[in-house]
């Protein structure tokens, strides 16, 4: 009888308080996903996965039992889709198929704001290095500022960072918190007069040929400038080419829906392999979460300040609403909607959506380029 009881409940002796803390963290992620609708497609599987991997002797991760290795399903998925960066790249096909670059192509100057809003990546990378992280980890942490989960995952794996779990959680958590993080930063850097500036939208027709050539040309140019980013930009632009070519509507719809949804499920739950208590509960995790916030704040600030500088050279009547600079981060289309809503709160006739969308999609491209530049500059660990 005692043997039976031990066999039934003996695993409880392997339970550690750190595992319970990770259950709580997993529960918080699930709560944010369901109650607050913050990136539910990712935070929910990440939260549930965090609970599963922190059960004692969990069968979802590889364990050595009685001298024999038992391979866990999560580890199989991690090696098949994240360790080789495959899941983030496939997801980029779906993201590319969702994006309409029309607003950007009708006003290509908006690309400059996307570039300016990557300032947080390089600032945070420098800060992380000053705090004692090695260059590979510092680069991985800095790319949280790309506000682009797949790019953050790709870079952390490329550099074989020691803090993948914290980086993944920070990247997706702050993407979900864009409506909370950005408005205070924008208001701190702008006056009400600036936020009231109206920008007349003057749409220019963009030919189908232009829309088809755009992803091809961007892939070539970015590949020449930042060859490490060819996989990221290539898969993103391939998805967009499927969308714009006009002869693959079925594939475009599948990429936007079934493909993106399926990969997102696997990506979210597989990321949890890096959230085991012994890997995640470190002081460095708190530092990474703080640095991730710094990255988002300085990305936002970089775009807004750049717009204010541009305004110094523009005549009255042509000035920009500097809030649009904040949408140069890659959190598409959330950041565009946040700034559009802020404009309407100041003036219910101030419609900034098309301008913010144009800047936001440029941020999608520029974040990938910035990530590629970082991977070019920093030696692989």
What are 245-281's pLDDT values in tens digits? 999 999 999 999 999 999 989 988 888 888 888 888 8
* For residue 33, pLDDT beyond 90: no
Cα separation of 332 and 267, whole Å?
18
**What pLDDT is attached to residue 9?**
61
Q: Per-residue pLDDT averaged across 150-155, rounded?
A: 86
**What pLDDT is attached to residue 212?**
95
pTM: 0.86
Cα separation of 307 and 313, whole Å?
10
Q: What is the pLDDT of residues 59-84, one digit of tens each?
A: 888 887 777 888 889 899 988 888 88
**What pLDDT is attached to residue 351?**
86
Cα separation of 281 and 271, whole Å?
16
**What pLDDT is attached to residue 6?**
52
Q: Per-residue pLDDT averaged across 122-141, rounded?
A: 92
* For residue 289, pLDDT beyond 80: yes
* For residue 103, pLDDT beyond 80: yes
């Amino acid at each position: 009888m005692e043997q039976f009881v031990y066999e039934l409940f003996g695993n409880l002796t392997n339970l550690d308080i750190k595992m319970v803390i990770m259950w709580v963290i997993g529960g918080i992620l699930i709560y944010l996903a369901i109650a607050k609708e913050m990136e539910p497609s990712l935070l929910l599987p990440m939260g549930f996965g965090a609970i599963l991997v922190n059960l004692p002797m969990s069968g979802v991760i590889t364990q050595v039992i009685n001298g024999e290795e038992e391979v866990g399903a999560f580890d199989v998925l991690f090696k098949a889709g994240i360790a080789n960066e495959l899941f983030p790249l496939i997801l980029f096909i779906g993201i590319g198929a969702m994006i309409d670059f029309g607003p950007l192509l009708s006003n290509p100057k908006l690309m400059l704001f996307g570039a300016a809003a990557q300032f947080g990546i390089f600032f945070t990378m420098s800060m992380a290095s000053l705090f004692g992280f090695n260059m590979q980890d510092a680069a991985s942490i800095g790319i949280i500022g790309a506000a682009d989960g797949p790019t953050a995952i790709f870079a952390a794996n490329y550099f074989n960072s020691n803090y993948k779990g914290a980086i993944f959680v920070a990247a997706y958590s702050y993407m979900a918190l864009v409506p909370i993080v950005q408005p205070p930063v924008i208001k701190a850097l702008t006056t009400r007069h600036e936020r009231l500036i109206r920008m007349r939208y003057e749409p220019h027709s963009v030919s189908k040929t232009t829309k088809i050539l755009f992803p091809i040309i961007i892939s070539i140019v970015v590949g020449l400038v930042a060859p490490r980013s060819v996989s990221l930009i290539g898969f993103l632009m391939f998805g967009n080419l499927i969308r714009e070519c006009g002869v693959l509507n079925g594939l475009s719809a599948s990429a936007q829906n079934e493909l993106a949804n399926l990969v997102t499920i696997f990506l979210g739950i597989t990321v949890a392999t890096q959230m085991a208590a012994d890997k995640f509960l470190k002081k460095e995790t708190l530092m990474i979460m703080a640095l991730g916030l710094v990255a988002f704040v300085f990305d936002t600030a970089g775009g807004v300040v750049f717009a204010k500088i541009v305004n110094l050279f523009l005549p009255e009547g042509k000035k920009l609403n500097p809030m649009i600079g904040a949408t140069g981060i890659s959190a598409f289309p959330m950041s565009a909607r946040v700034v559009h809503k802020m404009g309407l709160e100041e003036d219910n006739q101030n419609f900034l959506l098309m301008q913010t969308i144009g800047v936001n999609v440029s941020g999608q491209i520029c974040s990938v380029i910035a990530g590629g530049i970082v991977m070019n500059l920093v030696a692989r660990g």
